[in-house]
Amino acid sequence: MAYVKGSVFERFLRKIDASTGKEWNGTPCWIWTSAKNTNGYGMLSVRLKSQLAHRVSFSRFHGEHQHGLELDHLCRNRDCVNPDHMEPVTHRENCLRGAAPKIDRKINCAKSKITHCPRGHEYTTGNTLTHRHPNRADSRECRECNRVSCATRKAWKK
């Protein structure tokens, strides 16, 4: 087992760069210069466990955030670890604030990147039916496909 000199906070400070010129709300982003996960978030080893660097930063400067909440990067910069650029929010709120197109923000995060239905029609405000579900993620349906499906069912009934 390799021993890394310095406290967690000292190691943390050695791995940030605040001189990149990136800013949010008049304060610089603290760019993480060390290891990152596949999603671009900084990683730091704390007591032999990998931790997300922005969570370590937030808890060091602002205390632990409430269980069940996620840290939203207000600066929209995943490798930023400036605790003043983060806000604890629900998963839903984090998705709604994301970079997904406006029509898709009504749906869950995973589906928000899909811009066309399986038959190739674009999901637009006029061509999308949104179904609200109380115990699961909302869903959406293409109006054009729905119209064709209804017409086909009526033709079969004749």
Give how far the C-alpha of residue 156 lies from the chain's centroid of Cα atoms, to the nearest Å: 45
Least confident of 25-29, 45-49, 70-74, 129-133: 129-133
- DSSP class of residue 69? -
Inter-residue long-range contacts of 32-36, CB under 8 Å, 24+ positions, other chains counted: 32/79, 32/80, 32/81, 36/79
Name residues whose C-beta falls within 8 Å of residue 59's C-beta, 6 or more positions apart in sequence.
65
The CA R_g of the chain, rounded to the nearest whole Å, is 22
| Digit-coded pLDDT (tens) for 64-122 | 877 888 898 888 888 899 999 899 988 888 877 775 545 444 455 555 667 888 888 88
CB 65 within 8 Å of CB 73: no
Confidence at 135, pLDDT banded by 50, 70, 90: low
Q: What is the pLDDT of residue 104?
A: 46
Over residues 120-135, mean pLDDT: 79
Q: Domains in the chain, please, with CATH?
A: 8-91 (3.90.75), 106-157 (no CATH)
Q: How many CB atoms lie within 10 A of CB 157?
A: 6
Q: What is the pLDDT of residue 6?
A: 65
The rounded percent of the chain whose pLDDT value lies above 70 is 82
